[in-house]
Amino acid sequence: MDADLPSLRPYLVRAVHEWCTDHGLTPYLVAAVDERVQVPREYARDGQIVLNISFDATANLRIGNEEVTFKARFGGVARDVVIPIGHVIGIYARENGQGMAFPHPDPIDEEATPPRGRTPLQVVSASDEGPGAGGSVGDTAAGEGDDPPPPPRRGGPALKRVK
């Protein structure tokens, strides 16, 4: 019966986004980058990209059951962003690091079957891991200069396996 249920991930992403918005926080989305993801690759680091998905930083934001889509400015240039929902590996509030993390997507292999029994992940807030807040790669806030954003700072939200 569980095999027929849709993924819980898009519902949780929407919930954390709404929570951030309702409380005046800035929602940041972390996505795994591969050929199935449409993002400016020059802002990706270590196979991931961190994006500001606040309503102020995006246009036409849609967090659907299959993908997250929006338009944003990168270095002053408007770009379309399309992220399959399975590639969303985290969403958190920039200001306090609270949010959720999800397992990385499976590599592309047409003949492979998805692994069963994955271990869930949780986000540990920055205050639990030490000083510093999570940084942004590809911060899409409106009105920023043409320089690429700085690399993320260490000490931000960390992923911890929960058994």
Q: What is the pTM of this model?
A: 0.67
DSSP H/E element including 20: helix 9-22
- pLDDT (0 to 100) of residue 8: 93
**pLDDT confidence band for 58 (50 / 70 / 90):** very high
**pLDDT confidence band for 139 (50 / 70 / 90):** very low
Helix, strand, coil abundance in the chain, percent, nearest 5 = 15, 30, 50
More confident site: 123 or 45: 45
Q: How far apart are CA 50 and CA 26, in angstroms?
A: 12
- pLDDT (0 to 100) of residue 159: 54
Q: What are phi and psi of 66, to 5 degrees?
A: -105, -30
Half-sphere exposure of residue 54, counting CA atoms within 13 Å on the CB side?
A: 21
Domain 2-105+118-143: assigned CATH number: 2.30.30.220
Using alpha carbons, select from 102, 105, 93 the residue that is nearest to residue 120: 102
Using alpha carbons, select from 54, 22, 40, 19 the residue that is nearest to residue 143: 54
Q: What is the pLDDT of residues 64-77, one digit of tens each?
A: 999 999 999 999 99
147, amino acid identity: D
| Domain residue spans of the chain | 2-105+118-143
**pLDDT confidence band for 106 (50 / 70 / 90):** confident
